């Protein structure tokens, strides 16, 4: 194939990561986005009141500094990333809280009797995070380049993902902090898949912190678009692609779409065996989101929580597990796990002076029609009396509304683009050392439905683009040069 023109479908982080990589390799790249705005779940929009800027699905970015793609892209030099001292906070019943300080020793010292256990559990992973990231951000079928890091990580996952998950601890704050991180991805507890994701999040919280982009997640997207355009690429908004035939004029296509959309677009070009494998790929559970404009900061009873952009509201490890297991069974829990974000504590651009932007989502079954507003209000009010009184406006997006509101990639409220289980981490979406390559000639898959899975890291798109370049004998571009903001 004489590869010169490539189409990319979807202007989310993965689609744009693929587009940037291909454009830097000298190819003509057109990105097609069905929405009138770029970013997908990483967009930032006024969802409650004018002047209050909310991130559509992802506000805090643990992988912004750890992702090999973003390191090569030099993201930290392109945008303003605020790294707070407290990556997350986790209030518990009775006025107690666990604070995920970036300094592991500081976080552990505040845990009393479980401080040493928390430190000994996470410390070895924090120390070898680079090797762990190299393993988890690539296909799990590859031999790890740092076997010691792989062994340390694997041992901790086996502990945290089995009934042995609390054997180190005598109190409930430290286990709740670990499970609160693991519950960022929706699934049963304890399981190896949840433990693996939670361990990565916990380790990044203490190794480098969880950065917040000034101006919102849109800053990441805008930096990608700017680089793409600087290398001759183009983004076409309001252009939905529903059939691969629409892209026949291109030499190749990279698709940042979920498995159901890919099947619709490409079914006629896929071998029966591959198509049946995709049809067995299962969606994950959903989220019900609430965006709120506040008259001021959240009045948390524990003032330390006011320092953390991310707050986990789910109670003890046992309470979180019970709620998450209800969701996995298709039931709406009485007290769902709520992931809350208060970006205004580190970014004054998100709301008018003196006011605050706040959003949160509750975990619910796939495609649920439950409005989480009351559940979010109750969860916050328990630890911040008077919260209801400062809410100026709120906008709810149910799980069954996300496809229309954001993207088919989030159909049913499934932020993970497919259930995160050990089976589906090994076959994401099929078992292959290069799952981004599809049997359709010149067609590559780049969404979170591929390895390494969900999160804003750009790695799915980066892998897809590099596989396409390799297949056509084109060298991948070198590290992006440092550029001024």
| pLDDT score recorded for residue 140 | 73
Q: Is the dihedral of CA 281, 287, 288, 291 positive or negative?
A: negative
If you write DSSP's letter for every residue of 202-230 in order, what string do you get?
A: HHHHHHT---EETT-THHHHHHHHHHHHH
Q: Which residues of 238-247 are buried (b: 16+ CB within 10 A; e: fewer)?
A: eeebeebebb
The tokens describing 288, both together, are: 């019900």
Q: Are 17 and 263 contacting, i.e. CB atoms less than 8 angstroms apart?
A: no
Instruction: For residue 379, count other CB atoms closer than 10 A to its CB.
Output: 24
Q: Are 419 and 283 contacting, i.e. CB atoms less than 8 angstroms apart?
A: yes
Residue 4, exposed/middle/buried by CB under 10 A (0-12, 13-18, 19+)?
A: exposed
Terminal Cα distance for the chain, rounded? 37
Angle between helices 129-136 and 147-160 (to 10 degrees): 80
How far apart, in whole angstroms, are the C-alpha atoms of residue 218 and residue 54?
Answer: 10
pLDDT tens for residues 13-23? 999 999 999 99
| Planar angle of CA 484, 25, 243, nearest 5 degrees | 110
DSSP H or E stretch at residue 9: strand 5-9
pLDDT tens for residues 342-382? 999 999 999 999 999 999 999 999 999 999 999 999 999 99
Instruction: For residue 251, count other CB atoms closer than 10 A to its CB.
Output: 17
Q: Could you list the mean pLDDT of each consecutive 10-residue stretch along the chain, which spans 485 residues?
A: 93 98 98 97 97 96 92 96 98 96 98 98 97 89 89 96 95 98 95 96 96 97 98 98 97 97 94 96 97 98 97 97 97 97 97 98 97 98 98 98 94 95 92 96 97 94 97 80 36
Q: Strands, E, within 259-323: which ranges?
A: 286-294, 310-313
| Residue 397 DSSP class | E
Place of tokens 């019900």: 288
Backbone angles phi, psi at 97, to 5 degrees: -145, 150
The tokens describing 465, both together, are: 């683009």
Q: Are 160 and 154 contacting, i.e. CB atoms less than 8 angstroms apart?
A: no
Q: Is the dihedral of CA 311, 315, 318, 323 positive or negative?
A: negative
How far from chain centre, in Å, is Cα 228?
Answer: 22
Beta bridge partners of 310: 88, 341
| pLDDT score recorded for residue 183 | 97
How far apart, in whole angstroms, are the C-alpha atoms of residue 60 and residue 26?
Answer: 32
**HSE-CB for 473 with a 13 A CA cutoff:** 3
| pLDDT score recorded for residue 2 | 87
| pLDDT score recorded for residue 267 | 87
The tokens describing 357, both together, are: 């932007």
Q: What domains does the chain contain, in order, with CATH numbers?
A: 5-43+214-282+411-471 (3.50.50.60)
pTM of the model: 0.95
How far apart, in whole angstroms, are the C-alpha atoms of residue 421 and residue 434?
Answer: 19
């Amino acid at each position: 194939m004489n590869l010169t023109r490539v189409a990319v479908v979807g202007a989310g982080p993965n689609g744009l990561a693929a587009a940037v990589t291909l454009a830097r390799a000298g190819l003509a790249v057109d990105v097609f986005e069905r929405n009138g705005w770029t970013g997908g779940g990483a967009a930032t929009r006024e969802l409650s009141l004018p002047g209050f800027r909310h991130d559509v699905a992802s506000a805090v970015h643990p992988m912004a500094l750890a992702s090999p793609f973003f390191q090569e892209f030099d993201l930290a030099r392109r945008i303003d990333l605020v790294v707070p001292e407290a990556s997350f906070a986790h209030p518990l019943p009775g006025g107690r809280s666990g604070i995920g300080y970036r300094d592991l020793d500081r976080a552990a010292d505040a845990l009393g009797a479980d401080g040493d256990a928390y430190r000994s559990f996470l410390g070895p992973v924090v120390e070898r995070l680079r090797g762990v990231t190299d393993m988890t951000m690539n296909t799990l079928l590859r031999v790890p380049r740092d076997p010691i890091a792989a062994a340390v990580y694997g041992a901790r996952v086996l502990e945290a993902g089995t009934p042995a998950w609390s054997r180190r601890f005598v109190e409930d704050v430290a286990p709740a902090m670990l499970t609160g991180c693991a519950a960022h991805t929706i699934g049963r507890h304890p399981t190896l898949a949840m433990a693996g994701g939670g361990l990565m999040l916990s380790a990044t919280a203490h190794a480098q912190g969880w950065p917040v982009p000034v101006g919102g997640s849109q800053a990441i997207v805008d930096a990608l678009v700017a680089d793409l355009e600087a290398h001759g690429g183009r983004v076409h908004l309001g252009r939905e692609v529903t059939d691969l035939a629409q892209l026949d004029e291109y030499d190749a296509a990279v698709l940042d779409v979920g498995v159901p959309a890919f099947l619709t677009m490409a079914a006629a070009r896929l071998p029966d065996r591959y198509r049946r494998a995709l049809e067995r790929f299962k969606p994950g559970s959903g989220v019900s989101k609430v965006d709120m404009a506040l008259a001021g900061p959240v009045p948390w009873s524990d003032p330390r929580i006011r320092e953390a952009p991310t707050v986990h509201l789910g109670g003890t490890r046992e309470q979180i597990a019970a709620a998450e297991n209800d969701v996995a069974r298709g039931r709406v829990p009485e007290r769902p796990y709520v992931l809350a974000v208060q970006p205004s504590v580190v970014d004054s651009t998100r709301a008018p002076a003196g006011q605050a932007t706040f959003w949160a989502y509750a975990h619910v079954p796939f495609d649920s029609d439950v409005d989480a507003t009351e559940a979010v209000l109750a969860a916050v009010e328990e630890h911040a009396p008077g919260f209801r009184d400062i809410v100026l406006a709120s906008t709810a997006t149910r799980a069954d509304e996300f496809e229309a509101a954001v993207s088919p990639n989030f159909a049913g409220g499934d932020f993970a683009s497919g259930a995160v289980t050990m089976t589906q981490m090994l076959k994401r979406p099929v078992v292959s050392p290069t799952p981004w390559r599809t049997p359709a000639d010149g067609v590559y898959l780049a969404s979170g439905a591929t390895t390494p899975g969900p999160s804003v890291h750009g790695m799915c798109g980066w892998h897809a683009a590099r596989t396409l370049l390799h297949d056509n004998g084109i060298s991948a571009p070198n590290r992006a040069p440092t550029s001024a903001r």
